[in-house]
Amino acid sequence: MKWSSFSFARILRIWARKLAFFIPHSFLLSLFLTFVVYFLGIFWAYHGPFDMIKFWANGFWSFLGFSMQMVVMILSTFSIASVPFIRKIIRRLVDLLAKPRRGLIFLILATGIISWIHWGLGMVVGAVIAREMGRRISGIDYPLLVAGAYSGIWAGSFGPFAFIPLAVSQPGHFLEKFMGLYPLSLTSLSSFSILVSGLSLILISLFMGLICPPSSEANPPPANLLRRFDEEDREEDESLLAEKKLREGRISLGLWLEHSRWPVWWISLMAFSYLVYWFYGRGFEINLNILNLFLFIFALLLHDTPARFLSSMERSIRPIYGIIVQFPFYAAIQGMLISSGLATIFFQWLLAISSSNTYPFLLYLNAILINFFLPTSEAIWEAQGLLVIKSAQSLSIPLPQAINIFTAGELVANLIHPFWTIPILGICGISIREIMGYCLFAFIILSALWITCFTFFPI
């Protein structure tokens, strides 16, 4: 019996596809979570109905900065991937991976390794390669492919730039007086964390490879989506040809400036000189602003002239609408959860039933549940960081272990959170309902691995 026809694998694929029937658009999920937190605030935290509305409204725009960072990251990556010679590089790579299972496993491993370096890089690179694989590898299951890329991001993101371990390693963090500093060698760069992260990637790759269907059972990208992708490529090529023809004739000064290279060169020189200064002074320290500066200027440089760059950015708008529409609602959910005290109440409820033996599992469970309502690592740590530290100290749990447990829980929980799927779904042109079943299986596998390791092989 062939691996791809294994009956258990077929059952899992059927379950994943059946689950799609029950999952609405990610925007509806954000509204549903809003209602859940609103009523919890009234009946569990005992706030008035209009108090919860005020918490909701006060938080609604608190993700504006982060939203803009994500918008720039997606726009810039999409623009870079549209450049003809970058497209050729990606296509040659994809053509080497001609078989669906080989391509899927490569995508998961590559995305996970890049995400270990920085989750933002992993997200955009994984999405772009998945999109191209869906177009060029015959007989590949596109929802499984996108789910594989998304799973690789969070299987591998427990690296040097995981927010919580990085925060507690830097002087001046808001909990320093309660816990001091803990170097990354005790948290995300410990041998334990690196080993489990590696096992996570291997397990997810094997699982996704196991359930990868034969061509006869695969769900390829729909024809209208492929036409959209082809049209976007054609528009880029036509823009390049139109600019060449324009330069051959007499044009106004304004048009000449729009289609000149020197403004791009000077701006690029300024930006890259600052990047050299940054890395020379700080070492290999990457945040979203630095990553976005590089991606944005690199996209500008690759398009050679301001006019082509602007035309590319205009075509790249479509994948980001989900960020613009949905992020404010998640910011409002965060506002309700923190202002109402629900985050503290929930943690204290779990702590009341914890012991030194059950604490790792309950802390991991808490991180998963709180992640549904506070999807960013920074918000989660600000809401519950002090509680995590004090509870671990009261139970004589080593703080690096508590930090690792909490971080692992909130990262793995991203697998089943619609918030983080928005960028990759926008680039790949697919719905959350098509990938959530596979992501749920990956979430179960990674949770079982982390809980087992924390319980039986604590650091």
Tracing tokens 């060029």 back to the chain, one arrives at 136
Which tens digits make up the pLDDT trace of 358-380? 999 999 999 999 998 888 999 89
Which tens digits make up the pLDDT trace of 219-243? 999 999 999 999 988 888 888 788 7
What pLDDT shows up at residue 5?
Answer: 47
Is residue 137 a contact partner of residue 178, using CB atoms and an 8 Å limit? no
Asked if residue 386 belongs to a domain, the reply is yes
Asked if residue 256 belongs to a domain, the reply is no
Report the number of distinct structural domains present in the chain: 1
Asked if residue 380 belongs to a domain, the reply is yes
CA 164 to CA 382: how far, in whole Å?
Answer: 10
Which tens digits make up the pLDDT trace of 129-158? 999 999 999 999 999 999 999 999 999 999
Asked if residue 421 belongs to a domain, the reply is yes
What pLDDT shows up at residue 13?
Answer: 86
Asked if residue 369 belongs to a domain, the reply is yes
Q: Looking at the predicted structure, is the pLDDT value of residue 3 above 70?
A: no
Asked if residue 260 belongs to a domain, the reply is no
Mean pLDDT over each residue of the chain, to the nearest integer: 91
Domain range spanning residue 354? 3-237+266-456
Which tens digits make up the pLDDT trace of 86-104? 999 999 999 998 899 999 9
Asked if residue 95 belongs to a domain, the reply is yes
Q: What is 128-194 written as a DSSP string?
A: HHHHHHHHHSTT--HHHHHHHHHHHHHHH--STT-HHHHHHTSTT-TTHHHH----GGGTTTSHHHH
Is residue 163 a contact partner of residue 184, using CB atoms and an 8 Å limit? no
Name the nearest CA neighbour of 411 among 442, 455, 453: 442
- Give 78 or 340, the one with higher predicted confidence: 340
Asked if residue 68 belongs to a domain, the reply is yes
